[in-house]
Amino acid sequence: MKRADFILIACVVVVLVPFFIPATGFFDAFRIATLAHPYLMAFIKFAILSTLGEMLGLRIRKGVYNEKGFGIVPRMMVWGFLGMCIAMAMTIFKNGVPAFLESVAGRERGTLATIFFTPGFSWGKLGVAFAVSVLMNTIFAPVMMVFHKCTDIHILSNGGTVRGLLRPMQMSKIMPSINWSTMWNVVFKKQIPLFWFPAHTITFILPANLQVLFAAFLGVALGFILALADSSKAAK
């Protein structure tokens, strides 16, 4: 392990430990802030955690957490924006999918919503959570992932600077440069159904104030998954 690894581990421990010590009041403050400012908190969570996932992926692939043109700050800005979009999508699909299922099944309005939003676990809640995850990741996730790939290319092609991020995106050049074979065969056909369907099913079973945070932590996990996949491809 390098010095940078120990520094990162120390920072993570310093940030997380107070949440597990009730006397600090960190968790209560976090919960209150999430309820009062859900989209601002979503921006902060994704900006930090999902960018960390990309940095970990870079560490696994190339042995460093940052490199010239990588653009940590622009990536944080993009992930923060996407975090707010994800929080919005979660709200829309959590409330809309139960109503959709009720209309399809001919159930009385509000019956599945009651099951879904009741605290605790039940098989009915698991079923609705899975349906919410499948529909959100089928309808919303592909668009978000393509947009995120476009911003990645835009950041790299503009030197990883904030000024470069704010330049108009040349979509006529960016879209053809995307590896659509990988996007379809790996991201859409494998990552979404095999990782995101079950992962977000778990997300929607959690208490509401933890759902966006858990979704952001999934970005860290995905960084590892993508890095290992790239490493295995490179080995071949």
* Domain boundaries of the chain, sorted by first residue: 37-235
Per residue in 33-80, pLDDT tens? 888 999 999 999 899 988 988 898 888 888 899 999 999 999 999 999
Task: Supply the pLDDT for residue 130.
Answer: 97
Give Cα separations from 4 to 16, 69, 122, 202 (angstroms): 18, 19, 44, 32
DSSP state letters, 40-94 = HHHHHHHHHHHHHHHHHHHHHHHS-S--TT--HHHHHHHHHHHHHHHHHHHHHHH
> What tokens were used for 45?
């969570």
Longest dimension (CA), the chain: 60
Who wins on pLDDT, 27 or 236? Answer: 27
